[in-house]
Amino acid sequence: MSNHDSHSAEHHHDVIAEIKKVTIILSVLTIVELVLGFWMIDITSEGLRLAIKGAIVILMMAKAFYIVAYFMHLKHEIKNLIMTIVVPLALFIWFIAAFLADGNSFRNLRNNYDPHFKEQSTIKVPEKHHAGGESHKATEKHEAGSTEKHEEKAAH
């Protein structure tokens, strides 16, 4: 019986040491991400900002690995179960990146090749100022005149 108790105590000590190690790793990764994020605020170089963002994404992926491996207990699972989760996740991330790139490409092509196309977000809408009733009446007359012209075109 004492052999079982000593084995259980050793296992308990190993589990506690592993939990401490993972907690320290996750804390250090989080602190590094925060430092990089706050440091990035003052940087004006787009290339350096992009590099820092890439580093933050890599650190986030490392944290996600540790969380899934240890807290979701996938580190101790069989390889087929891990691949069942990792492969669809990787494909899903690839699909999101591909769709974002395709949508951005379509938007850029449409803006470049159609000279009369203007995105709704870039169109300046003039403010309407109504000083009195006269400007409102003039607008109504103009709209009525354009409606009559459209009706005449339709009749011919």
- pLDDT, tens digit, 9 for 90 and up, residues 100-127: 888 777 766 665 666 666 666 666 777 7
Check if the beta carbon of residue 65 is closer than 8 Å to that of residue 58.
no
Q: What is the pLDDT of residue 87?
A: 87
Q: Structure tokens of 117?
A: 């196309």
Parts of the chain with a pLDDT under 50:
1, 150
Q: Where are the domains of the chain?
A: 1-76
The position carrying tokens 């699909």 is 95
* 28 residue type, one letter: V
Q: What is the pLDDT of residue 32?
A: 96
pLDDT digits (tens, 9 = 90+) for 134-147: 555 555 555 555 55
10, 76, 103 from 96: Cα distances, Å = 45, 29, 11
* 30 residue type, one letter: T
Q: What is the pLDDT of residue 137?
A: 52
